[in-house]
């Protein structure tokens, strides 16, 4: 068991890759075996993630040096800096790992029935596993170039999966937009990485952070990195691709795409808090991120109001919710240098944002799965052509209501638990931001109530009279999300203490991140 945990961080990335390479071979022989292997593999990975999370929270940062003579040997003898690629897993990484593990399992379970009858399933599962491996790699790696490589894995497999339904022109265009945006964003990331490499001749995040001088070139690199990752996560000036992409992908993929966006947000935070840390012009950068957040909240919700397509509505809601997280992180970053402010409300803001990340993945995931279930049965996403579905699809209606209430931040659901943390801490920083946030939440509620009434209530439309409830595996997938949402809503304090608080501490503690890598060398 100890060896398993010692190697767990690499196994979490390598096992999905191994299964992905095996899937085409197994799939040629038997479909059932393939599905079983995928599910068993991802469950094993999820188990490893939880074991690793426990270990990291108890024993501190976990490092793994690839190809060295011992996993913990970060700096070889005779060198002053890390040479090899190092996986560095701290509280935030395992937190994101838990998000990816839960969401990927649910996505696979949901796909089992929603993909039934489609051609090309072998390749679908292969790409899905590659995307999961890429997301794990993004959150676990401690090396900037490695981050870029995994970013590319997620974007290429994601784009191919968005275009999965080749009979619709829309999905091809969605895939095209996704890959163009991702390719440009990741090339910008690579350019920024090369600017950093040019000055310090280093690629490891911890070592770079230790050497960081914050010269003009570093500032240029920072601006490019913020722009690229904001583009990748759909922050507002670059949000145009997001609704086109999310609305046309198979829903199980959309759920994973949300997680990948979260991983981009994680990368942004890793760069802001750890790579640059206190050397930043904290207030300026913090306010830039807050501005992106506020714009995302505002534009996301106003665009959501006028949508008639249910998936596009939820996609714009995603833009809006990621605004909340950006505001939380921005406030945390703005007060990072100021110890009293950080202690009184800064860490709370960061905790709220981190907690909102997992909640966002859960409730938006649930909403997308519901939208997918509706599409699976009636074949349209247009709200104006739905009506009375609640009479026959009772579970689906209940899940939609649950997701909508959680998303608009009503107690006692998880959205409330995280939004209240953001509200009360941001209020101490700047009251206007909180007021905007509450307004946006109210409009969100209005949007969802309208959508719920037009889709689920009213008289049963004659053409939908013989619509049945969706298959059991789809219900099961939605139930997993729903149960977790309710648990998180009922016991938010527990969750915050277990996983959110360690993640926050890891994010604001730049010194221990650096010391784990640089070790004895002063």
* Min separation Cβ 50 and another protein, Å: 21
Q: Which range touches another protein (CB under 8 A), out of 82-90, 279-287, 385-393, 479-487?
A: 82-90
In the region spanning residues 442 to 501, those forming contacts with another protein, defined by CB under 8 A, are none
Q: Is 199 in the site for another protein (CB under 8 A)?
A: yes
Q: Which range touches another protein (CB under 8 A), out of 70-78, 258-266, 451-459, 467-475?
A: 70-78
Name the residue with tokens 């491996």: 133
Rg (CA), the chain: 22
10 Å Cβ neighbour count for 138?
27
Please say whether the beta carbons of 332 and 509 come within 8 A. no
Q: Which range touches another protein (CB under 8 A), out of 33-41, 186-194, 256-264, 489-497?
A: 186-194
First-residue to last-residue Cα distance in the chain: 34
Name the residue with tokens 């970060």: 74
Q: Is 191 in the site for another protein (CB under 8 A)?
A: yes
Q: Binder to another protein among 44, 47, 50, 197 (CB under 8 A)? A: 197
User: How far apart (Å, rounded) are the C-alpha atoms in residues 81 and 70?
Assistant: 16
CB closer to another protein out of 40 and 432: 40
* Min separation Cβ 505 and another protein, Å: 28
Q: Which range touches another protein (CB under 8 A), out of 42-50, 189-197, 456-464, 465-473?
A: 189-197
Q: Is 30 in the site for another protein (CB under 8 A)?
A: no
CB closer to another protein out of 153 and 496: 153
CB closer to another protein out of 174 and 403: 174
Strand runs labelled E in 66-119 = 86-89
Please say whether the beta carbons of 150 and 94 come within 8 A. no
Tell me whether the omega of the peptide bond preceding residue 412 falls within 30 degrees of 0, making it cis.
yes
Q: Which range touches another protein (CB under 8 A), out of 49-57, 71-79, 475-483, 498-506?
A: 71-79
* Min separation Cβ 466 and another protein, Å: 22
Name the residue with tokens 């990072």: 336
| Stretch (H or E) spanning 163 | none
Q: Is 249 in the site for another protein (CB under 8 A)?
A: no
Helical pair 431-456 and 394-407, crossing angle rounded to 10 deg: 170
In the region spanning residues 252 to 311, those forming contacts with another protein, defined by CB under 8 A, are 303
Residues whose CB is less than 8 angstroms from the CB of residue 435 and which lie 6 or more positions away in sequence, other chains included: none
Q: Is 14 in the site for another protein (CB under 8 A)?
A: yes
CB closer to another protein out of 14 and 398: 14
Q: Is 508 in the site for another protein (CB under 8 A)?
A: no
* Min separation Cβ 227 and another protein, Å: 10
Total residues binding another protein (CB under 8 A): 89
Q: Which range touches another protein (CB under 8 A), out of 120-128, 330-338, 435-443, 451-459?
A: 120-128
Strand runs labelled E in 280-348 = none
Q: Is 44 in the site for another protein (CB under 8 A)?
A: no
Q: Is 240 in the site for another protein (CB under 8 A)?
A: yes
Q: Residue-wise over 444-468: b if at least 16 C-beta within 10 A, else e?
A: bbebbeebbebbbeeeeeeebeebe
Helices (H), ranges, 201-239:
205-211, 216-233
Q: Is 519 in the site for another protein (CB under 8 A)?
A: no
Q: Is 382 in the site for another protein (CB under 8 A)?
A: no
- Which x/- pattern, by CB under 8 A, does the window 332-351 give for another protein? --------------------
* Min separation Cβ 194 and another protein, Å: 5
Cα distances (Å, whole numbers) of residue 242 to 56, 103, 184, 250, 342: 34, 19, 15, 14, 33
10 Å Cβ neighbour count for 30?
11
Name the residue with tokens 């490893």: 48
CB closer to another protein out of 49 and 159: 159
Helical pair 414-429 and 310-334, crossing angle rounded to 10 deg: 40
Q: Which long-range contacts (CB under 8 A, 24 or more apart) does 114-119 make?
A: 114/250, 114/251, 114/252, 114/372, 114/376, 114/474, 115/250, 115/252, 118/164, 118/165
* Min separation Cβ 356 and another protein, Å: 24
- Which x/- pattern, by CB under 8 A, does the window 145-174 give for another protein? xx--xx-xx--xx-xxx-xxxxxxxx-xxx
Q: Is 521 in the site for another protein (CB under 8 A)?
A: no
In the region spanning residues 202 to 221, those forming contacts with another protein, defined by CB under 8 A, are 202-203, 215-217, 220
In the region spanning residues 45 to 64, those forming contacts with another protein, defined by CB under 8 A, are 64
Q: Is 70 in the site for another protein (CB under 8 A)?
A: yes
CB closer to another protein out of 59 and 69: 69
CB closer to another protein out of 130 and 139: 130
User: How far apart (Å, rounded) are the C-alpha atoms in residues 384 and 451?
Assistant: 9
Cα distances (Å, whole numbers) of residue 17 to 69, 131, 133, 397: 23, 9, 6, 37
CB closer to another protein out of 160 and 433: 160
């Amino acid at each position: 068991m100890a060896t398993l945990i010692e190697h767990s961080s690499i196994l979490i990335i390598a096992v999905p890759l191994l299964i992905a390479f095996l899937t085409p071979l197994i799939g040629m022989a038997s479909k059932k075996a393939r599905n079983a292997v995928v599910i068993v593999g991802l469950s094993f990975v999820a188990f490893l993630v939880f074991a690793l999370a426990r270990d990291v929270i108890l024993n501190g940062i976990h490092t793994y040096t690839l190809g060295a003579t011992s996993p913990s040997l970060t700096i070889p003898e005779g060198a002053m800096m890390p040479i090899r690629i190092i996986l560095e897993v701290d509280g935030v990484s395992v937190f994101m790992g838990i998000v990816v593990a839960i969401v990927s399992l649910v996505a696979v379970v949901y796909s089992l029935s929603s993909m039934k009858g489609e051609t090309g399933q072998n390749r679908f599962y292969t790409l899905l596993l590659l995307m999961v491996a890429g997301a794990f790699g993004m959150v676990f790696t401690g090396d900037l170039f490695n981050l870029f490589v995994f970013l590319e894995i997620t974007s290429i497999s994601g784009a191919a999966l968005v275009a999965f339904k080749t009979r619709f022109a829309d999905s091809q265009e969605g895939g095209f937009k996704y890959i163009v945006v991702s390719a440009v964003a990741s090339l910008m990331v690579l350019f920024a990485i090369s600017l950093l490499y040019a000055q310090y001749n280093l690629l490891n995040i911890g070592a770079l952070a230790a050497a960081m001088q914050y010269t003009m070139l570093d500032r240029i690199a920072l601006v490019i990195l913020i722009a690229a990752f904001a583009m990748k996560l759909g922050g507002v000036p670059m949000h145009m691709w997001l609704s086109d992409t999310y609305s046309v992908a198979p829903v199980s993929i959309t759920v994973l795409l949300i997680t990948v966006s979260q991983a981009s947000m994680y990368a942004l935070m890793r760069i802001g808090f750890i790579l640059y840390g206190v050397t930043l012009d904290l207030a300026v950068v913090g306010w830039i991120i807050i501005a992106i957040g506020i714009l995302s909240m505002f534009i996301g919700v106003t665009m959501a109001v006028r949508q008639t397509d249910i998936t596009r509505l939820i996609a714009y809601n995603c833009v809006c919710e990621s605004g909340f997280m950006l505001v939380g992180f921005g406030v945390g970053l703005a007060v990072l240098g100021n110890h009293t402010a950080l202690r009184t409300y800064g860490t709370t803001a960061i905790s709220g944002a981190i907690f909102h990340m997992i909640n966002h993945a859960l409730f938006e995931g649930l909403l997308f799965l519901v939208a997918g279930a509706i599409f699976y049965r009636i074949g349209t996403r247009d709200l104006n052509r739905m009506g009375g579905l609640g009479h026959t699809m009772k579970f689906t209606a209940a899940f939609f209501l649950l997701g909508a209430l959680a998303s608009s931040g009503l107690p006692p659901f998880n959205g409330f638990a995280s939004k209240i943390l953001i509200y009360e801490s941001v209020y101490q920083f700047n009251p206007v931001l909180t007021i905007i946030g509450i307004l946006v939440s109210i409009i969100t509620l209005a949007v969802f109530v309208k959508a719920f009434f037009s889709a689920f209530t009213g008289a049963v439309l004659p053409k939908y009279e013989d619509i049945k409830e969706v298959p059991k595996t789809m219900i099961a997938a939605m139930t997993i999300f729903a149960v977790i949402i309710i648990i998180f809503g009922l016991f938010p304090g527990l969750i915050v203490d277990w996983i959110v608080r360690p993640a926050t501490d890891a994010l604001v503690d730049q010194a221990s991140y650096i010391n784990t890598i640089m070790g004895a060398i002063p």
